[in-house]
Chains A and B, each alone.
Chain A
């Protein structure tokens, strides 16, 4: 029953390989669907598993969600090009280091289902409502986009392995996943994530160690890199200068700054939004804190192992110049080197990796549709049964949207990466200020989003195109957008009225934010609420 491989890019499955795949799919479906009865009880069950999970379940979900089909491609691309120093590109998850003990505590105690809902608890009046509507709409779009992005990555993997048209891998596996997300909601997501996270971790360890051994083991890799004149790839701090080159020290410091201090705020990283759902699903504040801390710590350990495995691939195939070839490094290590019967096991694990991400974003997008758009704006008196039904409709809508996105992704990727980047860069500081500074108001935050849209177009595209500004590097864009935005949203904040003190006191007493909240705390103490 050998799994014969007809050269790179073609895998013929034997019976045992198909068996592994079928068995995994069945186990995943059963483990998700069996929570149908729990998921349908209420909106809180369908989207937050009733806020009753011990820390290790959301932690495994954090890990599984952030191990997607495109993740090894991205890590492969960075490490193949830059060596171990490329791993720092994955250090963005370090926001959880501080976030676990600052933002997570505040968000968990707000009880908000979503970040959009949190905005209306923090900010009042029209600005709070506009922010809620905007963030809900943005998140529906973003989750659909991520589903399309990750889905088409799976399509590419299947195309690479079996020569299937890309849409097949996109549609088939996302649809299988949607079955248990539709049935059981977040209960199904988190329970299947636990199982998928365990499978993914085991397989990542097996394949990476296998690949490292094939390349001669760690000492063999180091020796070959020295012989090739590429010993710099072994140095995790192999920067290309202070400001110049592919990976300057200035970019490294900027990434540390963005990642680590971002944990003081909310919405400072794209990953905040799925993590917020996991924080809220934890049974206590302590469980919430340790869930995102340990899930992200596991992500970093995984990245470290991948880094060494990609170095192994580099010494085997040192001359690849096209990204599309070397970004498949980790997949190739597995498919080209695992023994008979393990290929299907490996592919089944890739499916697990893929489905865990898809399930999260299907349910996450649906909570914004249900809680923030339908329940808040359309039908506040809706029954729990109706809300679960809307949640399922929302899930289905996202699934269909993801197919459309996935199929046109090739043409719009550049624009969408730009959109993601600007959303992260210009609202990073306001995302922190809204948590740590009582005087920052809804109009200030709303202005930050709007001004960021304008400035990012100008700084990244328009002004360089007309020669007014030189083309800035990524880290320069970040600092420029942050400074320009602050020139607008800080005056707007100070020139408009502070949030209503009653609202601020309520928010403070419930969530206990950190930072500059003195006037609000004193008012709460005066009212005998603390």
Chain B
């Protein structure tokens, strides 16, 4: 199978793959960070007592969850210019990933917060703790541990999703594979290398996620 495999071309194109990998990292980390903020805000809105805010947040989360990311990317990519907003592709991509992951993270955070048994919150209220004290001392310490493993799962998804930005010609890992394919017509070399690099990231995050599951979730049996 490997007799037609041209390793030299891969080495020759290593700078391109490096650039792709760097951009994939950059895009993933920036949009994960932004998505965390969006997610926490959306989750706060989702759990708030104010009905209008709650409805907006539900509409946001559900509409993101039931449409493909690619359509969301195109929506921003082709839609923003019609509104007169012109930003580089890479920022459009980060924006799309931010809104997409934000919705999923909102659900993850919500699951974490609601996983704290009601009795504890009631106990907190009757001990005279204020809302913020309850959040700070009772809910968050327990919720964070439950939230971290699925968040790492979301990080894996995000890294994979960033591959879709190749469709709007952001030079990330997948795009560098496409470039190699179109310049030399060597799809095997290109995409197996790309897949391998993604796998390295995946196994690293999966290992982290397994570790955090063992370490961070405190649960009585």
Do the two shown chains form a genuine complex with each other? no
* Interface residues in chain B, defined as those with a beta carbon under 8 Å from any beta carbon in chain A: none
